[in-house]
Amino acid sequence: MNYISTRGGMAPQRFSDILLGGLAPDGGLAIAERYPRFSLDELQSLASLSYPELAFQVISRFVDDIPADQLKALIDRTYTAKVYCHGRDPAQANQITPVVRLDDTLFIQELSNGPTLAFKDMAMQLLGNLFEHVLTQRGQEINIVGATSGDTGSAAEYAMRGKHGVRVFMLSPFGKMSPFQRAQMFSLQDENIYNISVKSMFDACQDMVKAVNNDAAFKARYKVGAVNSINWGRVVAQAVYYFKGYFAVAQKVGEPVDFCVPSGNFGNVCAGHIARQMGLPIRRLIVATNENDVLDEFFKTGGYHPRGLDRTYETSSPSMDITKASNLERFVFDLLDRDATKLAELWCGVDKNQGFDLAPEVFARMHDEFGFRSEKSSHADRVANIREVFQRYGLQIDPHTADGYKAAKAHRDTAVPMVILETALPAKFEETMREALDQAPQRPVDLQDLEAQPQRFDVLEADAEALKRYVAERVPV
Ligand SMILES: Cc1ncc(COP(=O)(O)O)c(C=O)c1O
Ligand SMILES: N[C@@H](CCOP(=O)(O)O)C(=O)O
């Protein structure tokens, strides 16, 4: 399988190269040159597989430059009940991404049982093992430069801590994460982890990461790599749980299922789009946003208008405080029938914070052919929905998942099962949980005194040159 760039300016590469390579040299995102498809018979044969077995079947279709037995061993080592141990229900303790039934056709798929209590662990743990494998084979090192609004950062750091040949430089928006998220990242004392708090919002952090990646000389000299969903390895590993969720709820293999996905950088729902392109019978993909509703506007009007920092709001689902969604580029590439010239034209504007409006016939295809719908939530909705789910089903859901619950209700068709993807555990967002439920959220025993641990981080202005200096001072060349 070869990989190309959404903007057309990259010679085809193999999986291991794009895994280490981050952003494509032309500023675009790497994407498989075609989607492998499962037939109905093949889907039927996958239905009863365990998570690691399923992960191998899906991921191996995209990876043909790591021998199958080695890839399988890496996947088996990643997806264990010991790693994904923070489940709510002891009866499901050996399940990875268990599905909770709310009613006959409404379900929540738990994706946050990994080490850092967010869905990012599903792909990041595998990425850590893949990096280590490929770097060891090649005798190379990598310096990961990433951006987080709260969850990617800790997932990456927990996955990479102590890994040989890997350093992590993680940018986060100063003062914008929850106290739990901050403590999770900043309390790590490992020598290969650098936390950089940027005096701005997530979008500025992501722009800095892209600027560093777009400096080819710096990138080559300092061996810069990515762990954000810029990295294809991330989204493809996320596609696996759509298969798992589908088989858990489909009345019969081949029947349609809808998924509702709390969204910000569009990586999670892009993974759903990939699963759908691979032949998984997903009918609708519902994009749920918070008050930063650029994606909701896009799927309702066909107009994509990233907002400036002055119009990016701090909300109570803070990990989705994003107004320039990186992975939308991959979906729009498919929507434009993979016309890289047209895509590059649009995204050169997006890189400069300019928007675009789709032609009506293209806009119609997002709904009719690709199954997208959307909905947004306010703080009041979020609090009311956390309360409703607790009162009705006895389940605590976090603020991001609550945004998903609202969108799922808005687009529900009771004839078709609907899976809401849970993206974090409530323990990460105590203030909003207390407001909604008047009680502290459940917290895993191993994380009881997290906020009391000493914290370590540096502060930078939102300046890509300052970031390059910071990296250069810490990486021996
Ligand atoms: C808890 C949580 N929910 C939802 C999202 C949005 O996911 P994505 O950026 O993949 O759209 C994020 C961050 O990405 C998150 O951390
Ligand atoms: N919400 C994310 C933002 C980055 O998303 P990614 O999927 O591109 O890594 C976070 O928690 O950091």
Q: Is residue 59 in some structural domain? A: no
Task: Kindly state if the Cβ of 233 falls inside 6 Å of ligand 1.
Answer: no
Kindly give the distance from the C-alpha atom of residue 353 to the centroid of ligand 2, in angstroms, as a whole number. Answer: 19
Alpha helices in 139-231 (DSSP H): 152-160, 179-186, 202-213, 216-221
Kindly give the distance from the C-alpha atom of residue 255 to the centroid of ligand 1, in angstroms, as a whole number. Answer: 28
| pTM value > 0.95 | yes
Residue 94 has pLDDT above 80, yes or no: no
Among 161, 222, 157, CA closest to 475: 222
Total tally of structural domains belonging to the chain: 1
ipTM of the complex: 0.99
Question: Residue 217, class by beta-carbon neighbours within 10 Å (0-12 exposed, 13-18 middle, 19+ buried)?
Answer: exposed
Q: Is residue 311 in some structural domain? A: yes
Q: Is residue 380 in some structural domain? A: yes
- Please report the pLDDT score of residue 298 as a whole number: 98
**What is the spatial distance between Cα 176 and Cα 321, in angstroms, rounded to a whole number?**
9
Element (H, E) at 375: strand 372-376
Residue 367 has pLDDT above 90, yes or no: yes
**Residues 256 and 283 sit within 8 Å (Cβ to Cβ):** yes
**What is the spatial distance between Cα 170 and Cα 418, in angstroms, rounded to a whole number?**
35
Q: Is residue 155 in some structural domain? A: no
Range of the domain at 393: 90-117+234-437
Residue from 177, 265, 320, 376 to probe ligand 1 pocket by mutation (most atoms less than 8 Å from CB): 320
Alpha helices in 98-151 (DSSP H): 120-138
Each residue of 424-476: pLDDT tens digit?
999 999 999 999 999 999 998 889 999 999 999 999 999 999 999 999 999 99
Mean pLDDT of the chain: 96
Extract the tokens encoding 378. Answer: 């306010």
Instruction: Tell the residue nearest (CA) to atom 5 of ligand 2.
Output: 265
Read off the pLDDT of each residue in 334-356 and give the average, rounded to a whole number: 96
Kindly give the distance from the C-alpha atom of residue 371 to the centroid of ligand 1, in angstroms, as a whole number. Answer: 20
- Please report the pLDDT score of residue 446 as a whole number: 86
Residue from 148, 182, 312, 329 to probe ligand 2 pocket by mutation (most atoms less than 8 Å from CB): 148
**What is the spatial distance between Cα 34 and Cα 374, in angstroms, rounded to a whole number?**
26
Query: Which atom of ligand 1 is least distant from the CA of 266?
Result: 11
Q: Is residue 446 in some structural domain? A: no
Q: Is residue 345 in some structural domain? A: yes
Q: Is residue 131 in some structural domain? A: no
Kindly give the distance from the C-alpha atom of residue 422 to the centroid of ligand 2, in angstroms, as a whole number. Answer: 15
**What is the spatial distance between Cα 263 and Cα 286, in angstroms, rounded to a whole number?**
9
Question: Which residues sit opposite 421 in a β-bridge?
Answer: 109
Residue 98: which CATH number? Answer: 3.40.50.1100
Task: Kindly state if the Cβ of 264 falls inside 6 Å of ligand 2.
Answer: yes
Extract the tokens encoding 289. Answer: 């946003």
**Residues 252 and 405 sit within 8 Å (Cβ to Cβ):** no
N-terminal to C-terminal alpha carbon distance within the chain = 33
